[in-house]
Chains A and B, each alone.
Chain A
Amino acid sequence: MAATTLERPLGRRTARRAGPSWQRGHGRIALLFLAPALIGFAAFYLVPTARGLWFSFTDYNLLSDPKVVGLGNYGEVLGDRVFWNALKVTGVYVVFNVATQTVLALGLAVLMERLTRSVMIRAMVLLPWLVPNVTIALLWMWLLDANVGFVNHVMEQIGLSKQGFLFSPDQSILTIASINTWRHVGYTALLLFAGMQLIPKHLYEAGRIDGAGEGRMFRQITLPLLRPVLALVLVVSLIGSFQIFDTVAVTTEGGPVNASRVIYYYIYEKAFTQFEFGYASAMSVFLIVFLVALTLLQMRLLRASTSDLA
C-alpha cells in the first residue's frame, strides 16, 4: 500500500529533551506497548520482504523445495515479452488515469471551493471511492455492456455506433483507466480541496480589487500556491495507479489477449495460477524498483516546492 499524508512529514517534533526522571529509559514498558505491533511487523512485513527476495533467486513453486537459480529469474523476466508488454500496458493505464483524474479533480475542487461548503456535496462526490473496487468494476461492466449497456444506448441515441469498450482490444485498457478515473476523481478533488483551504483568502480579495477574473486568479494564485499539494497528490496517485489489479481481475482478466494484462495482474497470474513464485517474486522486485524511483521523485518534488507560501 502506498500511503502518505498531507501533513508535514515526521521528524519535526521528536521529543528529545531530557524530562524528569520518570520519563527516561522506558525499555521494558516500551516493549509491552510495542509487542503486538512488533510481532505483526516481523511476521507480515519484515520476514516476508526478506523471504520474497529469497524466492526471487529460486525456482520455488509452492509444491517442491526451492532450488537456487541465482539471477536466472531476473534474466528470464528481462527476456519476457509479456512482461514488457505488461509494463507498456501499465504505463498507458497510469498516464491516462492520472492525467484525466488530476485535471478533472482540479476542476471539481475549484468548483466546490468557489461555490459551496456543503458536506453533503463532498460526501456524494466521495461515494465511488468508498465502494469496493469489485462492485464498481461490475457496475461499469454492466453500464458498458456491448449489447444492452446503458452507455451504448446513449451512444446510439446521439448517433454514434455501439462500442466494445472493455472487450475491444483497442479500448479495454483505456476503459479500465476511465472507470478508475471516475472512481477516484471525487477523492482526489477532496485532497486538492483540502489543499486549497491552506491558501490565504486575502490573496483572492486583493486579486478581486485589482480586477482579476476567476481564470486569472486560478492561474496566478491557486495553481502556484497549490503546487506542493498538487505534487504530492500526483505522485500518490501515480504509485496507487501502478498497482491496478481489482478492476482487471473482475472484468477482462487481462484480455483481450494481452490488451489489459497489467503488471500487477501478470504477477498474480504467475504466482497463483501457474505457481511460479520465484518468477513472480523477481517481477515484483522490478515493480519495487519502479515504485521506489517514483517515491524518490516525490521527495524531490516536495523539497523543490515547499517555499511558495513561506
Chain B
Amino acid sequence: MRKNPARLLAWVGLLAALAITLFPFWWMLRTALTGNASLFNGSYSLLPEHPTPINFERVLGLASPEEARAAGGTAASMDFWLYLRNSVLFASAVVAGQVTFSAMAAYAFARLHFRGRDVLFYLFLSTMMIPPIFTILPNFVLIKSLGGVNTFWGLVAPYFFMTPFAVFFLRQFFLSVPGEIEEAAGLDGASRWRIFWQVVVPMNKGPLLTLAIITAVQTWNEFLWPLLIAKQEDVRVLTAAMAIFRQQTPNATPDWAGLMAGATLAVLPVLLLLVLFGRRLVDSIRFTGIK
C-alpha cells in the first residue's frame, strides 16, 4: 500500500467526482420542491425553503388550472401519468419484441447451417455503421405512408423486430455456450424449436436479461423518433413531452419548478432500475458502446 496521505487525496478526488455527478440531481429535486415564485428571491440554500408538493401536483394534473397558473405554470393540464404510461408501454413493447426476435435470429446465426448465413450476418453487422438519422428519413416516409403517424405501432415498429447490435450481442453468447447439451437434446429427438426455448433460452438467462436492460434504457431515452411520430397527447412519450413542455411555457422564463418536477419523475424509473439491477447494469456496461 502507498503512503496514507496519497490515498486520502485519492479518496478526496473520488468523492469530489461523486459530488459533481450527484449534485445536479439534488438541485433538480430541490427546485421541484420549491414554489416557482420563491425560485427568484435570491435564495440558493441547499434545502428548499418552503417545501411544497404543488409542482408535482401540477405536472401530474392533480392541481386545478387556477392553482397551476398561480404557481407559475400554464393552465393547460400536464398529464405526466399519461406520458409515463406511454414511455413504459413503448419501452416494454420494444424490449419484448426486440429481445425475443433478436434471440431467435442470433440462435440461427450461431447454431444453424444454411446457405448464405455468413453473408447475411455480415450484412446485418454492416448496417451498424449507418447513422440513425440516415434511415430515420425513409422510415418516417414509410410509417407515414402506412398511416402510422400518431399511432403506437408506428412508434414501436422500427425497434420491434431486431437491431443489428442485439443480434450480434446474443450470438456471441450463444457461441460461447458448449453445444453438447443441445446435441444431447437433439439426439433425444427434441426439435430445434424446443431446444431453443427449453435449453438455449434458460441457459442464457443472464445475457438475455442484460440485453433487455440495455434495450429498456435506450428506448426510455429515445427522443428524435418519438418526437417525429408520436406528436399527439395520447401517444406522446416522456422525453418528447418534456421538450414540448419547455417550449410551451407562457413567459420568457421557462416554468423551471414544473420542469424539474417532471425531470424528477423521469429519473425515478432509472433509479428503480439501478436499485433492482445495480450490479448487472454496472457489469453489463462493458458490452455496450452505445451512446
Residues of A that sit less than 8 Å from B by CB: 1-7, 10, 13-15, 19-20, 22-27, 29-34, 36-41, 43-49, 51-52, 55, 62, 107-108, 111-112, 114-116, 119-128, 130-135, 138-143, 145, 148, 150, 153, 182, 184-187, 190-191, 194-195, 213-214, 232-233, 236-237, 239-243, 245-246, 249-250, 264, 267-268, 271-272, 277, 280-281, 284-285, 287-288, 291-292, 295
Further contacts, 6 of them, CB under 8 A, given A3-B168, A124-B21, A150-B44:
A1-B128, A31-B114, A38-B105, A40-B158, A55-B137, A121-B14
Contact of A139 among B108, B125, B161, B263 (CB under 8 A): B263
**A281 and chain B: residue at smallest CB distance:** B137
**A–B pairs, 6, beta carbons within 8 Å:** A2-B290, A44-B157, A51-B141, A133-B221, A143-B24, A233-B289
Is the beta-carbon distance between B137 and A277 smaller than 8 angstroms?
yes
Residues of B that sit less than 8 Å from A by CB: 2, 6-7, 10-11, 13-14, 17-18, 20-22, 24-25, 27-28, 31, 39-40, 44, 97, 100-102, 104-105, 107-108, 110-115, 117-118, 121, 123-125, 127-135, 137-142, 144, 157-158, 160-165, 167-169, 171-172, 175-176, 179, 183, 186-187, 191-193, 196, 217, 220-221, 223-224, 227-228, 238-240, 242-243, 246, 254, 256, 259-260, 263, 266-267, 270-271, 273-274, 278-279, 281-282, 285-291
Taking A26-B192, A45-B164 as contacts, is the C-beta distance between A52 and B135 under 8 angstroms? yes
CA distance A182 to B158 in the complex (A): 30
Contact of B165 among A1, A38, A112, A232 (CB under 8 A): A1
Is the beta-carbon distance between A37 and B179 smaller than 8 angstroms?
no
Could you say which residues of chain B place their CB within 8 Å of the CB of A249? 223-224, 227, 243
Could you say which residues of chain A place their CB within 8 Å of the CB of B259? 138, 142
Is the beta-carbon distance between A27 and B282 smaller than 8 angstroms?
no
CA distance A23 to B111 in the complex (A): 8
Is the beta-carbon distance between B105 and A49 smaller than 8 angstroms?
no
| Minimal beta-carbon separation of B124 from chain A (angstroms) | 6
Binding site of B, secondary structure by majority: helix, strand, loop or mixed? helix
**A233 and chain B: residue at smallest CB distance:** B289
Is the beta-carbon distance between A272 and B228 smaller than 8 angstroms?
yes
Is the beta-carbon distance between B224 and A246 smaller than 8 angstroms?
yes
CA distance A79 to B238 in the complex (A): 39
Could you say which residues of chain B place their CB within 8 Å of the CB of A112? 14
| Minimal beta-carbon separation of B137 from chain A (angstroms) | 5
Is the beta-carbon distance between A7 and B239 smaller than 8 angstroms?
no
Contact of B270 among A10, A39, A119, A131 (CB under 8 A): A131
Best-surrounded residue of A36, A51, A277, A291 (most CB of chain B within 10 A): A36
| Minimal beta-carbon separation of A151 from chain B (angstroms) | 10
Is the beta-carbon distance between B25 and A127 smaller than 8 angstroms?
yes
Is the beta-carbon distance between A287 and B131 smaller than 8 angstroms?
yes
Is the beta-carbon distance between A288 and B134 smaller than 8 angstroms?
yes
Is the beta-carbon distance between A26 and B114 smaller than 8 angstroms?
yes
**A157 and chain B: residue at smallest CB distance:** B44
Is the beta-carbon distance between B274 and A127 smaller than 8 angstroms?
yes
Is the beta-carbon distance between B112 and A6 smaller than 8 angstroms?
no
Is the beta-carbon distance between A6 and B286 smaller than 8 angstroms?
yes
Could you say which residues of chain B place their CB within 8 Å of the CB of A52? 134-135, 137-138
Is the beta-carbon distance between A123 and B274 smaller than 8 angstroms?
yes
Contact of B221 among A20, A27, A38, A132 (CB under 8 A): A132
Contact of B113 among A25, A126, A240, A277 (CB under 8 A): A25
CA distance A125 to B21 in the complex (A): 7
CA distance A108 to B18 in the complex (A): 10
Could you say which residues of chain A place their CB within 8 Å of the CB of B127? 41, 45-46, 49
Could you say which residues of chain B place their CB within 8 Å of the CB of A185? 17, 21
Taking A33-B107, A114-B10 as contacts, is the C-beta distance between A140 and B278 under 8 angstroms? no
Is the beta-carbon distance between B105 and A125 smaller than 8 angstroms?
no
CA distance A291 to B112 in the complex (A): 33
CA distance A86 to B44 in the complex (A): 37
Could you say which residues of chain A place their CB within 8 Å of the CB of B134? 48-49, 52, 281, 284-285, 287-288
Could you say which residues of chain B place their CB within 8 Å of the CB of A111? 10, 13-14, 17
Is the beta-carbon distance between A41 and B17 smaller than 8 angstroms?
no
Is the beta-carbon distance between B18 and A121 smaller than 8 angstroms?
yes
Is the beta-carbon distance between A15 and B135 smaller than 8 angstroms?
no
**A120 and chain B: residue at smallest CB distance:** B278
Taking A115-B7, A194-B286 as contacts, is the C-beta distance between A148 and B40 under 8 angstroms? yes
| Minimal beta-carbon separation of B271 from chain A (angstroms) | 8
Could you say which residues of chain B place their CB within 8 Å of the CB of A2? 128-129, 131, 289-291
Contact of B282 among A33, A44, A119, A237 (CB under 8 A): A119
CA distance A245 to B164 in the complex (A): 22
| Minimal beta-carbon separation of B263 from chain A (angstroms) | 5
CA distance A15 to B132 in the complex (A): 32
Is the beta-carbon distance between A243 and B131 smaller than 8 angstroms?
yes
Is the beta-carbon distance between B114 and A25 smaller than 8 angstroms?
yes
Taking A48-B139, A126-B285, A182-B20 as contacts, is the C-beta distance between A132 and B290 under 8 angstroms? no
CA distance A3 to B171 in the complex (A): 15
CA distance A16 to B152 in the complex (A): 42
Is the beta-carbon distance between B256 and A214 smaller than 8 angstroms?
no
Could you say which residues of chain B place their CB within 8 Å of the CB of A213? 2
Taking A20-B187, A111-B10, A150-B27 as contacts, is the C-beta distance between A243 and B165 under 8 angstroms? no
The 9 A-B pairs at the shortest CB distance, nearest first, are namely A40-B161, A240-B291, A37-B105, A194-B286, A48-B138, A3-B165, A26-B112, A36-B101, A33-B108
